[in-house]
Amino acid sequence: MDNEVKLHGFWPSPFVYRVIWALKLKGIEYDYIEEDLANKSELLLRYNPVYKKVPVLVHAGKPISESLVILEYIEEVWPHNPLLPKDPYERSVARFWINFATDKGRSAVRSLFWGGEDGEKEAAEQMFNFLKIIEEQALGDKKFFGGNSINMVDLIFAWFACWIQPMEQLVGIKVLEPSRLPRLHAWVKNFKEEPIIKENLPDPERLLEYYTRMRSNRMSKPN
C-alpha cells in the first residue's frame, strides 16, 4: 500500500490552507486535487459522506475530514517541525485558543459579513472584542501565537491575516485597525512574511472577487 498523501481542497478556503501550510511546513509531499464545490467529485462524497466538505486528507488511501482533526493527525504521523508544544499543559492552552477561534471567531465573522446591514455596528463591536481578547490573551507580546515560530494556533488565526481584508472592503468596515489592535496588526504582517507561508497565500484580488460574488448571491436570496 503506497504512502501517498492527497489533499482535496478548494482554493478560497482558509480551512484548506491550514492543511496546505501544515504539510509544507513539515516538508510532506502531496497531490492536490481542486474540488468544484458546485459539482463535487464522487471521491469527495465517498471520503466525506457526513459533511461533503473540503479539506479531506487522504493518506495511504484512508480519508480524514475536518481541518482540526487533519492537523492533529499530521502532527502525530509527522512529528518533526512540531506545530504543537510538547508539554500537555501548553498543548491544552494552544487547543483552548484553537477552540476559541473556531467557536467565537466563526460566529463573529458570520454576524459581521453575512448578517446584513441591520446590527452591523454591534457585529463590528463584537468582532473587535473578540480580536481584543486574542491580542491581549492569546498573542500578548509574542511575535507569533506559537512564540518565536509559528504553530497550529497561528495557522488557525490566519483567517485574520488574509481573509478578513476582502471582507472589510466588502462591508466597508475596518476591523483590524492598526491603532486599535497594534500587536495583531504586526502579527498579520509577520505571518505573511514567513517562509513557506508567503509562497502559499491566496491571491487577494481573486478572493475579493469571489467574496463579492458570494455576498451578492447570499444577500439577494430571501431568508
Partner 1 sequence: MGEENKVILLGNWSSPFVKRVELALKTKGIPFEYVEEDLSNKSALLLKYNPVHKKVPVLVHNGKPVCESLVILEFIDETWQNGPHLLPKDPYERAKVRFWVAYIHQLLESMAKLYTPDKEAREKALKEVHEKLRVLEDGMKENFPGGSPDVRAKKLEILDIMMIATVGSFKTHEEVLGVQILDPERNPLTFSWVQALNELPVVKESNPPYEKLIALLQSLKESGMKFYN
Question: Rounded CA gap, 162 and 96, in Å?
Answer: 22
Question: Rounded CA gap, 25 and 197, in Å?
Answer: 8
- For residues 181, 186, 192 and 195, what is the CA-based torsion angle, rounded to 10 degrees? -150
Residue 59 Cβ, how far from partner 1 at the closest point, in Å?
8
Q: Contact, 215 vs 169, CB < 8 A?
A: no
For residue 173, give every residue at least 6 positions away whose Cβ sits within 8 Å of its Cβ, in sequence order, or none: 112, 120, 124
Which is nearer to partner 1, 147 or 178 (by Cβ)? 147
Cα separations in angstroms, 32 against 16, 77, 110, 156? 10, 19, 28, 20
Residue 49 Cβ, how far from partner 1 at the closest point, in Å?
8
61 Rama class: left (phi>0) / alpha (psi -120 to 50) / beta: left
Residue 152 Cβ, how far from partner 1 at the closest point, in Å?
13
Which is nearer to partner 1, 48 or 165 (by Cβ)? 48
Which is nearer to partner 1, 36 or 76 (by Cβ)? 76
Residue 176 Cβ, how far from partner 1 at the closest point, in Å?
20
Residues at the site binding partner 1, with contacts judged by CB under 8 A: 50, 59, 62, 64-66, 68-70, 72-73, 76-77, 88-89, 91-92, 95-96, 99-100, 133, 137
Which is nearer to partner 1, 25 or 138 (by Cβ)? 138
Residue 79 Cβ, how far from partner 1 at the closest point, in Å?
10
Which is nearer to partner 1, 72 or 168 (by Cβ)? 72
The bridge status of strand 31-34 relative to strand 62-65 is: unpaired
Question: Rounded CA gap, 194 and 38, in Å?
Answer: 33
Which is nearer to partner 1, 181 or 207 (by Cβ)? 181
Q: Any long-range contacts for 103-108 (C-beta under 8 Å, 24+ apart)?
A: 104/130, 105/130, 105/159
Residue 60 Cβ, how far from partner 1 at the closest point, in Å?
9
